[in-house]
A = this chain, B = another copy of it.
Amino acid sequence: MKIGFIGLGRMGTGMAKNLLAAGHTLFLYNRTREKAEALASPAARVVSSPAEAAREADAVFTMLADDHAVAEVTFADGLIEALPRNAIHLSSSTISTALSRRLAEEHGARGRTFVAAPVFGRPEAAAAKKLLVVLAGDPSAIERCRPLADAIGRQTFVAGFEPWQANALKLGGNFMIASMLEAFSEAFALMRRSNIAEQQFLDVMSELFGSPVYKNYGSTIVERRFDPAGFALKLGYKDVRLALEAAAETSTPMPFAGVLRDQLLNALAHGQQDLDWSSIALAAARNAGLSDAKQT
């Protein structure tokens, strides 16, 4: 297939490489052109605008930072007009359910198809084709997208017939990870106030949950490896905010999400926006009168 790919950050680059490896032809666009050119090859042409990436494509991916960037590229930069009839826009960014609904409507009104295709996984997982891909949208469009999803991830899931459902599921998943981080944060604070080594607690939890996610994030906190960020706290805050918006739309009380919001605002008020989001742990530590320093 001919595929436009817009947004070649660390996630997008890994995804685009795997689409190339699967034999597809790509039109690459990135605001900072150098990142696109790093991937250039006969099968991967670098183009100068989102519209150009879409014009001859069977499908176009967007993998961008937030709602604003996706709306800009789609509407202001003309992706939606340039996209051929019956071609598909796959949005892999973590965006709001509200924007997802708007994208579905606007595409539908113009005879284009919108499929939400958010992914779980860090940049390393994107590079290694180990993402989890969640699709939602019209069933026949889903079937057309499935080979693309399979090309970038280790497993593909379908959330429902309406694109925004995939975004809701993605936000729910990030909420699960954030909740694990806050639970760790509070427990670590309790351990420190009890003169128990954080590492000791982590060892037991790693064994108890048997989950690489617990082990990796837990050790990031214990080691205070917050800089450079794997996933910036300001983006984690954005995702919790979007989860709360999805909850508000559906009248779903989510008290844990409310706590997460406050702890992340505490972190932002203390200048942690560019640290890894696991540095939410510093909020619980400060609240307990503990220093931010690594335990020794």
A residues neighboring B (CB under 8 Å):
97, 120, 132, 134, 155, 157-160, 164-165, 168-169, 171-173, 175-177, 179-180, 182-184, 186-187, 189-191, 193-196, 200-201, 203-205, 207-214, 241, 243-244, 246-248, 250-259, 261-263, 265-266, 268-271, 283-284, 286-289
Q: Closest CB-CB distance, A290 to chain B, in whole Å?
A: 8
Contact A208–B173 (Cβ < 8 Å): yes
Task: Please tell me which one of the listed residues B176, B252, B287 contacts residue A205 in the complex, with CB atoms under 8 A apart.
Answer: B176
- List residues of chain B with CB within 8 A of the CB of A168: 190-191, 194, 196
Min CB distance, A26 to chain B, in Å? 27
- Cross-chain contact of A262 among B175, B196, B258 (Cβ < 8 A): B258
Among residues of B, the one whose C-beta sits closest to the C-beta of A172 is B187
Smallest CB separation, A159 vs chain B (Å): 5
Q: Mostly helix, strand, loop or mixed at chain A's interface?
A: helix
From A171, which residue of chain B is reached at the shortest CB distance? Answer: B190
The answer to whether A252 and B210 touch across the interface, beta carbons within 8 angstroms, is no
Is the CB–CB distance between B289 and A195 below 8 Å?
no
